[in-house]
Amino acid sequence: MEYKELEEKTIIWANARGLLKPENAKGQFLKFISEAGELADAILKNDTFKIKDGFGDVLVTIIILAEQTNNNLIECLEIAYNEIANRKGKTNENGVFVKESDLKEIETDYELPFGYYIEKTKGGYVLCCKWKENNATSLHAKTENELKALAKDFFNNNPKYKFEPPY
């Protein structure tokens, strides 16, 4: 079956069950969120069947919600696509696209306070202190720039952790 035919059948099904009343939109939105959560769980578990079922359930709830709120999904998709078509930005280390206007430049030239240094680990980067046994700190990040930004914020808010050079 084609998408349009399935969409129409879904609307007929929902109408026969009294779901298309505009006052049901808030409840339908919550149903959509519930189905999106189930889809997320299926993706995390890499369950191929449940992923497909989850996408289907999400689409059903969105089709019904769009109908309840008098919106055409193709028009909505066209509006969204026209917004993103020429959008610039970058995909972050979590695989999420961040639009250029939302990107925050992280200072890469931040100088760590005396006695601290950054060490690369298997999982990313960690802030270390020359005077602590086993160099344990609670500042960890996936990238060195992220760690520098965390360290800058930490030391600006906790100046007592800065050491003075012994000279």
pLDDT single digits (tens) 120-131 = 888 787 777 776
CB within 8 Å of 103: residues ≥ 6 apart: 89, 90
3-state secondary structure (DSSP) of residue 70: coil
Evaluate if residue 41 carries a pLDDT over 90: yes
Give the integer Cα–Cα distance in Å for 141 and 147: 5
pLDDT of residue 10: 98
pLDDT range class, residue 157, cuts 50, 70, 90: confident
Cα four-point dihedral sign 98, 40, 60, 25: negative
Structural domain spans, the chain: 3-88, 101-167
Decide if 65 contacts 28 (C-beta within 8 A).
Answer: yes
The CATH fold of domain 3-88: Helix Hairpins (1.10.287)
pLDDT at 106: 46
Segment 6-27 mean pLDDT: 97
| Sign of the torsion formed by the C-alpha atoms of 30, 31, 35 and 36 | negative
Task: Using the predicted structure, report yes or no on whether residue 9 has a pLDDT greater than 80.
Answer: yes
By C-alpha distance, which of 96, 105, 32, 97 is closest to 64?
32
102-to-91, 93, 105, 128 alpha-carbon distances in Å? 12, 15, 10, 30
Q: Determine the length of the chain.
A: 167
pLDDT tens digits, 93-135: 778 888 877 775 544 556 777 777 778 888 787 777 776 655 5
Distance of CA 114 to the CA centre of its chain: 35
Contact 136, 150 (CB under 8 A): no
